[in-house]
Amino acid sequence: MFSNQWCNIKALPGANRLIKHLSGHRVPMALASNSPRENIETKISYHQALFAYCISYAGWKESFSVIIGGDEVRLGKPSPEIFLEVAKRLNVDPSSCLVIEDSLPGVTAGRAAGMEVVAVPSIPKQPHLYTLADEVINSLLDLRPEKWGLPPFQDWIKDTLPLEPWHIGGPVVKGFGRGSKVLGIPTANLSTEGYGSLLSEHPSGVYFGWAGLSKRGVFKMVMSIGWNPYFNNTEKTIEPWLLHNFDEDFYGEELRLIIVGYIRPEANFSSLQSLIEKIHHDRKVAEEALDLPLFSKYKDDPYLKSST
């Protein structure tokens, strides 16, 4: 049953983008996993057609110069053996390698191999466990290759990262009561019920796009998804801020969102004032970006104007 589900496993946000970027710049890549080699190749075989050279398309398997499974070494992670074998097959010094890992054993193995390590924690709200890593990032969307001597991404536009648009909607619900009262920033919260898989697919952070209210029109929107570390939420929330001054509350009205871009990862702040300042900066970034044709075209999407 487990094996039959491999075709449904989605890539982590930013994975396709990163592989395409590094492959396009001819950066050698390797895949080292404790899973058996056969399982690895079966799983990644469903991730195809990432980019084209002339008229031929390549997928994940073709993108990696080396693929090593846990059944090909004596000791798997946290032993460094699998990463040292990667360096040997790539014919490079371990110190010139960058490991990107989501697991604690993987981080331990990378450091023991003498490599630099970026951790993308698979355990929510637990970045403090990954202290051995050289850097801990929220998602692959936040990786800055130039920090590690690699070619930088060129797809950021006015401090935003364009995304394949995705949709979410539902009636406006009452939140924690802190948006207007504590922050002076009224959010039009959505219930997370029924959106478990969507929340797991999209990393915590600040996004932007367009919001449609069934009885009021379409408005610019900036939105946070996550645990809001400053307030230490116990559950992941969806908190859109419609960039318009409304004269009244509209709880219960149908709200539809099209998310078109990403601004930054979720972060904690030393003071309430610094949090408020950052939120207003996010607003400015979103407002300016949504005036660009790349993003403004979604304002007329029929999804936003549907009442059901």
- Same domain? For 133 and 211 the reply is no
- Can you give the CATH number for the domain in which 259 is found? 2.40.30.30
For residues 189-200, average pLDDT: 79
For the cut 70, the answer to whether the pLDDT of residue 38 exceeds it is yes
pLDDT band at 34 (very low <50, low <70, confident <90, very high): very high
Q: Give me the pLDDT at residue 45, please.
A: 81
In a domain, 301, yes or no: yes
Distances in Å between the Cα of 153 and the Cα atoms of 34, 117, 131, 146 are 29, 19, 26, 8
Residues in CB range of 166: below 8 A, 6 or more apart: 198, 202, 258, 259
Q: Region 248-264: what's the mean pLDDT?
A: 92
CATH at residue 102:
3.40.50.1000
Catalytic-labelled residue, pool 239, 248, 253, 287? 239
- What does the pLDDT look like over 84-117, one tens digit per residue? 999 999 999 999 999 999 999 999 999 999 999 9
Of 170 and 294, the structure prediction assigns the larger pLDDT to 294
Predicted local confidence at residue 177, as pLDDT: 55
Tell me how far apart the alpha carbons of residues 196 and 24 are, in angstroms, rounded to a whole number.
34
36 φ, ψ (degrees, to nearest 5): -60, 145
Asked if the structure places residue 67 within a domain, the reply is yes
In a domain, 153, yes or no: no
Q: Confidence class of residue 51 from pLDDT cuts 50, 70 and 90?
A: very low
H or E stretch covering 163: strand 161-173
Q: Report d(CA 185, CA 197) in Å as an integer.
A: 28
- Do 175 and 110 lie in one domain? The reply is no
Dihedral sign for Cα atoms in the order 198, 202, 205, 210 = negative
- The answer to whether residue 254 is catalytic is no
Q: Count the Cβ atoms, other than its own, within 10 Å of residue 236.
A: 19
Q: Mean pLDDT in the chain?
A: 89
Question: Is 190 part of any domain?
Answer: yes
| Residues of the chain above pLDDT 70, percent | 93
Give the pLDDT band of residue 303 (cuts 50, 70, 90): very high
C-alpha 116/C-alpha 110 separation (Å) is 7
